[in-house]
Amino acid sequence: MTIQNSSAKTAVVFFSGKGHTREIAQRLAGEFGVEAEEIEPAEHYSDADLNYTVDDCRANRESFDPQARPALAADIPNVSGYDIVFLGYPIWWGDAAAPLRTFVESVNWAGKTVVPFCTSGGSSITRSVSTLSSLAGAGEWHRGIWIRAHASGEAIAAELKRAGL
């Protein structure tokens, strides 16, 4: 799959709790000359919500409840006109952050190529791609790319190349 120089319409959408994934998504979008669009939850995550050292924090409760589908804001990104969707998120407990479940189930992925990308403290993206692609039930899902927090545009371009994109 070669994205740069192709006529495919490319979108970059992301969820970010603390800003690491947002920064990467914006740089990645810059590589394609598009704007990154944010998947915003209806109720934003506070620092306490994301404090995973507290067993019962919101992010932990959602992570460990496979049925949890956190509500999203009314104006979530509309990817219906796009061929290729880069989908970015942080890893929570080895899997995609819970709001991704809600988003992925709200989109018709048929005919689209999805390229998941994540930031994390080191955990790989593999399990999250399997979770999200099975919730999506359609689309061609790339194996995904892990991008180091604060990676430069050049480093991101190198990751894309390494991933064959």
Ligand X SMILES: Cc1cc2nc3c(=O)[nH]c(=O)nc-3n(C[C@H](O)[C@H](O)[C@H](O)COP(=O)(O)O)c2cc1C
84-92 vs 10-14, strand pairing mode: parallel
Cβ-Cβ contacts under 8 Å for 26 (sequence gap 6 or more): 36
Q: Which of 108/124 has CB closer to ligand X? A: 124
DSSP character at residue 124: -
Task: Kindly state whether residue 117 participates in binding ligand X, applying the rule CB under 6 A.
Answer: no
Choice from 94, 137, 153, 164 touching ligand X (CB under 6 A):
94
Angle at 12 between CA 132 and CA 138, to 5 degrees: 35
Q: Which of 19/164 has CB closer to ligand X? A: 19
Segment interacting with ligand X (CB under 6 A) among 28-36, 87-95, 103-111, 130-138: 87-95
What sign does the dihedral 40-90-81-10 (CA atoms) show? positive
CB of 119 to ligand X, least distance (A): 3
Where do contacts with ligand X occur on this chain (CB under 6 A)? 16-22, 50, 52, 59-60, 63, 90-94, 119-123, 149
